[in-house]
Structure 1
Amino acid sequence: MLDTRTNQSFTSRHQTRSFTFSNSSAYLYYRLNVSQNLGGGNALQLAELRVGGSLAAGTMPGTPVLAAPSVDSDAVTLTWTPAANASGYYVQRVNDDGSGTTEIFTSSTSYTDTNLAPGTSYLYQVQAVNGALRGFPSEVSARATTAGVAVHQDITALSSSVPVEQHPGNGVSGEDVTKVTDNNPFSKYYEPSSSTWIRLETPSSVVTSYSLTSANDFPSRDPKDWTLEGSNDGTSWTVLDTRTNQSFTNRHSARAYSCNPERLEFSRYRLHIQDNHGAGDTQLAEWRLFGTSSASLAAPAAPGSVNAQALSGNQIRVTWTDNAGQLNPEASYRVERATNSSFTSGLVVGTTGAGSTELRATGLAPNQTYYFRVSAQNAAGSSIEVGPVSATTTANTPPASFVENGWYDGQNRTVTLAYSDANLAAYFDQYVPNPSGATWVAPIVSEAWGYAKDTYGSMVDPILHMIGNQDNAPGEVPGTLAYNVGGVVYASDSAASYRNIIFTVSSDWSVPDYGWVVQSLIHEMGHIVESNNNGIAGSPAFNAWGDSKWAEIFGYDVFLHLTTISPNLAPEIYADNVSHTDGFGVYWFRDWYYPLYAGDFGNTDADHKGSRFLARFFQLLAEHLPTINSTYGNRPLNLGEFIHFCAGAAGVDLEDEARLAFRWTPQLELELAKAQTEFPGVSALYLGNRAPGFTLDPITRGATVNVALSGQTLAGTASDPDLGDTLTYSKQSGASWLTVASDGALSGTPPSVGLSTAVVRVTDQDGLFDTVELVFEVTDGTCTPESDAQFCARLGAGCGSLSDVDNCGAPRSVSSCGSCTAPETCGGGGTPNECGDPGGSTPCGGLCSSPIVFSTQSYHSGNLGTAATCHETTVNLQGLNCGNFAAGRTFLINGVLVTCNGANVTLPAERNGGYCMQASAGNQPWAYFSTF
């Protein structure tokens, strides 16, 4: 301790005070420990801290200049210019999980950082040292992103054996070791110790990669150090991979790793976790093995005990048992809904994620019988359909009265209906003296809810239930939430009888209050929009924006469009919001949401700003985040992921704007980088060029010892998502005898028998690339040629003729690798030797390019725009409602001209499994597409 001060204060704002003390020792780090503030609660603020004194004896080292990092599959090489007076350097790496900085000392001017996680971004800086003195660190490097791991056959899905753990019986129900291989990222395996091993028996297989998925909570329980081992007898184990100091970006986050470079074959695998991130117990959501095996995936088992239960006038819950286990697990469940038992009327198809045992059908008609049947699906096919089962929705008439169901610290008053229309049912409790005189608020809330439905979707229930509570009435308990705040209960909640309910409190409901009363009700309405959007319960982004920076922009958007209040209110809301900050001093409305809303961040297109930008954000969450049981499974968005999805909705890269708007840190930068990797479909909406990729990994070829290669090439082994890019090939390492020409031609003479490997790269003209391992099986000339079927399968060809070299290196031509079922043709989808529709394999293929894709509960009004932009979905649409204000307007659905008639419009037949919507020239159709 160098100095201690008590009872200090500042006499004015921005005042600087200096404190001196005696000290003769030199230190590298100094810490100010503040133990108490001046009584302003738990918050603390300080404008500036400066430390002064004299430098220790010696010469201060200079600052190195760090060059751009060089990235390999699991290593990053750094080089820098020598710094003056430097005796060594500290390389500092920032990890993407929030665990801080890792520091490594070296006396060299270069360093190769190894044992890194594939597909992960890192930041580096270098600091020179001279004895006890450190110089200023270099500028932080550009992001260094290691190459991802190619995923092959899921070996875990081929195993019928139950996984075994080192310490059986953790005593926690539903969190046993079987959960680690159940293909459900929302379940978890829990072990009450910091180290353990898990063993799985599989069909004989060559595992070349594996993945681990973090569990739902407690990052300190995540594995940090481990080894992966293989065995054929369960006694003798071979280490296939070793990892240390590994971490996870977020909850339910998967990390993939390559392993087993010698491609050894085993029938047992063991994950030995040696340590975690500091907890006394360990947990893991999933452990998956990938590679090759002679065994193959089969369709999953059919679900059992299918049942349908009407929840309300607009919701039915369909439930089933998940009979597909670790062997041949489901990837999703398909739920068909119709209005007759033969499924020929009103057919709608919905899907829900692996591990689900229910789906909520929402936005239904009242007093209508619906029929359902359910099947499990995976890459190998579908189970039999189980059903039909049926349920009939109730009337959707708001009750004349009901009793509050104990929410918010026990609210239990009787509330009575005072106003109702197609949008709103307004109730007041028994302590409001004159409910009929309080209905001034109802038309405002009704119009606001109508606008919210038109803009953001149905939010499950078309009728919003509003409750007005009396302030200072019996039952109000000071210091609790009951009758002291506004609040919300969702239509996904049985406590609300599956209604959307908002409520607030006033001391005098007969006096119009456009401040607290109206604005708190709109605020709570914003929570319904974020938490019941697209038929999926939960708000992943609440973790980022809290309670609630989203509500500020939502409220401004609503007030801007209301006609039942003064037009001056929206500018007042704007003026109030621009001064609001969060707990970290960030101006969300001023520096982020409003510029995006106004189109000031380059998102000038009408579909990417205003309320369309806001609605699109929720659509992207529904399309790309994993779901279970019609919920997001409590998976939170971190701030980097939030920025990523905003960029997708805006259609522009927002990193530069985010750096200014938010408290930008290396951690936030790496969160964003991870999100761009984990959700590539969103990245494609705003990041220009996309990297090419090899279609097979590894690429296997045959060759004969001491015989020069002839006719072998890599051309055609890589695909490019940005058609028209120029692709070049190169060798990165391995097989010194091999030469790879820029056009992919392979040449050279293998000098010895056995496996010979090389790492090769394909690069586009913008420098984006993919790497793959090229494996030559070099024989002595007595090679047994593979069959035509094996030849086609090895090269990934499912149809058409094919010419290449076989496993022995000899030229081979096969006249047919298979046929296609009409209307598909070989290569029709744009990929040679694969079946596809000549018009494209997607709904908009052959009609328009770069469609905006949606797969949500609804596609909202106005989103087609006036340009010839196209939008597509593979979700089965129930129908199209153009609205009376759009009558007579025309546009194209699947190439068929459709005219709005102000009511429900019959949709044409599906095209390539969905629908493609295009605006007609110069005509702006406003439309609402209703899905499941």
Structure 2
Amino acid sequence: MTTRLSIYFIAFIMFFYSCSEKTIPSTSAATATVTADTSFYPPYTWQEHWFDHRQLIKRVYFNNNVAVYFDDDVSREKTSWLFGLVDSAWAYTKKEYGSFGNSDTTNRLFAIFHTNKYGGGHPGTYLASRHDFRNVIDLGAGANAWTNQTDWELSATIHEISHIVEGASKGVKESPAFDIWGDSKWAEIYVYDIYDYLGRKDIQKRVFDECMEKTDAYPRANTAWFRNWFFPIYEQYGKVKVLNRFFDLLAAHFPKRQETNGTLTYERRLNMGEFIHFWSGAAGADLSIRAQLAFGEKDRSGADWWPQLEKAKSDFSEITYKADSTYGAIISKRALLEVSKENENGPNGKEGSSKLTDLDNNSKFFVKGFSPGFSIQQTPANSTAVNAYLLTSGNDVPARDPKAWVLEGSQDKLTWTVLDNKTNQSFTYRNEIKIFNFPNKVTYKHYRLRITEAAGSPDIQLSEWQLLRK
């Protein structure tokens, strides 16, 4: 084994001395070209000394952008795909989010891989001493790890890079949003975006499908972080640009302090209201209604975040934004509701009609014994010209979803004007938010949703029906 590794190492040294410029191998058409800087090579061996890691790892690949290390149990065959993956992902990350250090040592990514040990992974940044002030991803898996390019191997590698972004962007240490989004919610949209850059549409689609289905228990049960928060913001407000703007705003405005070694670090973590305020600033749009629908009105500790948001607007008044063009103004907040058939426990029961406008995706209106023509009426507190509406599917039994309906407006509840007509509709996910736009400039006193067909069940359910003005 020693002889083989020595020959391997000599071959690598000869290769790098013989080339001043090289094209980086990649998992896709996305490639990067770098010029070798012979004034600094990362060390050939590196003794791990963090957590329970005590391996003497060996460098198997490097350029000005990355250095890849294996322990002795990682196969040297069928694993070179890792070189292109980490190089392309890291080059793109620095291009979009800025540098992560000001020297060859600190701005390089050190990617460490293990076989048959240390299941999972962890990151390190150049702003912390644990990994010798280097940007590090350190991953381990079971037998034959890294030889098959599995979805997990690809995504886990990119996932760990996401933590370097959140923990060291713009030269500031810490992740002030970590207590809110946890280990994986930010990582999901980062991984999705990296696959988009790499052109890996196959695995990007699998990641999309998995994340769209996923729900989490925080800040409340059944929170769909990717589906109802990150992906819509990403798609609507500039993709990677809006992701980077969030970190730009944090670095520019959120409280920081200087450590004894001169490193800047965030003083504290964001509260939920601040989180929504900073994301609204990144999007340039008021995301508070989107947040209400996605997260509910309380943070993970049960505190109401609306007062936090109002204070954040005052404390960080430099961050400004307009109304969210997706939702506009919510008209249904104080509307009078009437239904042609009520839940058996009444309008304020657990599944009564009042749940239709409470901006809580976890609640729903449910009625046994649906028949075509079932209707719900809203009378807004002030007569308004509505030109959009929102429907959210229930939490279970897709067959209870509305499949066809008519939206109507009236001045007197006697004569109704059709504003929108939908047939053959379907909801792909539970608690899925859908918005329907239609042209209308007429101010009506009353609005009626007449459901003409359910998706197959004899019963009907709906989590939300919100009238919107855009």
Question: What is the TM-score when the length of structure 2 is the normalising length?
Answer: 0.55
Q: CA deviation at 1:469?
A: 0.6
Please give the per-residue CA displacement for 1:570-629, whole angstroms capped at 9, x wherever unaligned: 111111111122223211100011000110xxxxxxxx4210000000000000012111
Partner residue of 2:25? none
Conserved in 2, the CA contact under 8 Å of 1:437 and 1:509? Answer: no
Partner residue of 1:546? 182
Q: 2:59 aligns with which of 388, 407, 417?
A: 417
Partner residue of 1:401? 45
Query: Does 1:462 pair with 2:94?
Result: no
Partner residue of 1:632? 265
Q: Distance in 1 between matches of 2:193 and 2:82?
A: 19
Cα pair distance change 1:396/1:639, threshold 3 Å: farther
Q: 1:610 aligns with which of 224, 236, 239?
A: 239
Report the identity percentage.
Answer: 34
Q: 1:623 aligns with which of 252, 256, 259?
A: 252
Partner residue of 1:430? 72
Query: Does 1:581 pair with 2:215?
Result: yes
Three-state SS of the structure 2 residue aligned to 1:402 is: strand
Q: 2:284 aligns with which of 651, 656, 659?
A: 651
Cα pair distance change 1:655/1:510, threshold 3 Å: closer
Letter in 2 for 1:555: V
**Which runs of structure 2 are paired with 1:460-539 in the superposition (5 Å)?**
460=101, 461-472=106-117, 483-506=118-141, 507-509=143-145, 511-539=147-175
Unaligned residue ranges in structure 2 (runs of 5+): 1-35, 325-470
Unaligned residue ranges in structure 1 (runs of 5+): 1-365, 368-393, 473-482, 600-607, 689-932
Q: Distance in 2 between matches of 1:494 and 1:646?
A: 30
Cα pair distance change 1:687/1:625, threshold 3 Å: farther
Conserved in 1, the CA contact under 8 Å of 2:146 and 2:153? Answer: no
Letter in 2 for 1:491: Y
Three-state SS of the structure 1 residue aligned to 2:179 is: helix
**Which runs of structure 2 are paired with 1:365-376 in the superposition (5 Å)?**
none
Q: CA deviation at 1:443?
A: 0.5
Letter in 2 for 1:462: N
Q: Distance in 2 between matches of 1:395 and 1:540?
A: 36
Partner residue of 1:591? 228
Q: Distance in 2 between matches of 1:462 and 1:632?
A: 18
Cα pair distance change 1:640/1:561, threshold 3 Å: same
Conserved in 2, the CA contact under 8 Å of 1:457 and 1:534? Answer: yes
Higher share of residues assigned strand: 1
Partner residue of 2:439? none
Partner residue of 2:307? 670
Partner residue of 2:395? none
RMSD of equivalent CA atoms: 2.2
- Moved segments of 4+, more than 6 Å: none
Please give the per-residue CA displacement for 1:716-750, whole angstroms capped at 9, x wherever unaligned: xxxxxxxxxxxxxxxxxxxxxxxxxxxxxxxxxxx
Q: CA deviation at 1:514?
A: 3.0
Conserved in 2, the CA contact under 8 Å of 1:526 and 1:554? Answer: yes
Conserved in 1, the CA contact under 8 Å of 2:274 and 2:308? Answer: yes
Conserved in 2, the CA contact under 8 Å of 1:536 and 1:631? Answer: yes
Letter in 1 for 2:313: Q
Q: CA deviation at 1:632?
A: 3.1
Q: Distance in 1 between matches of 2:60 and 2:77?
A: 6
Q: CA deviation at 1:423?
A: 2.0
Q: CA deviation at 1:686?
A: 3.8
Letter in 2 for 1:439: S
Q: Which has the larger radius of gyration?
A: 1
Cα pair distance change 1:681/1:653, threshold 3 Å: same
Query: Does 1:453 pair with 2:94?
Result: yes
Three-state SS of the structure 2 residue aligned to 1:508 is: coil
Query: Does 1:559 pair with 2:195?
Result: yes
Conserved in 2, the CA contact under 8 Å of 1:486 and 1:520? Answer: yes
Conserved in 2, the CA contact under 8 Å of 1:441 and 1:512? Answer: no
Q: CA deviation at 1:446?
A: 1.0
Conserved in 2, the CA contact under 8 Å of 1:418 and 1:427? Answer: yes
- Higher relative contact order by CA 8 Å / sep ≥ 6: 1 or 2? 2
Question: What is the TM-score when the length of structure 1 is the normalising length?
Answer: 0.28
Q: Distance in 2 between matches of 1:596 and 1:633?
A: 25
Letter in 2 for 1:403: Q
Conserved in 2, the CA contact under 8 Å of 1:540 and 1:632? Answer: no
Cα pair distance change 1:613/1:633, threshold 3 Å: closer
Q: Distance in 1 between matches of 2:274 and 2:146?
A: 45
Q: Distance in 1 between matches of 2:197 and 2:135?
A: 22
Q: CA deviation at 1:435?
A: 2.5
Q: Distance in 2 between matches of 1:504 and 1:428?
A: 10
Q: Distance in 2 between matches of 1:568 and 1:422?
A: 29
**Which runs of structure 2 are paired with 1:38-117 in the superposition (5 Å)?**
none
Letter in 1 for 2:296: R
Conserved in 2, the CA contact under 8 Å of 1:578 and 1:587? Answer: yes
Conserved in 1, the CA contact under 8 Å of 2:57 and 2:71? Answer: yes
Q: Distance in 2 between matches of 1:512 and 1:442?
A: 14
Q: CA deviation at 1:454?
A: 0.7
Conserved in 2, the CA contact under 8 Å of 1:577 and 1:589? Answer: yes
Q: CA deviation at 1:634?
A: 4.3
Q: Distance in 1 between matches of 2:213 and 2:315?
A: 35
Q: Distance in 1 between matches of 2:322 and 2:144?
A: 50
Instruction: Give aligned pairs, total.
Output: 273
Q: Distance in 2 between matches of 1:595 and 1:687?
A: 15
Q: Distance in 2 between matches of 1:640 and 1:396?
A: 45
Q: CA deviation at 1:396?
A: 4.4
Partner residue of 1:571? 205
Q: CA deviation at 1:544?
A: 1.1
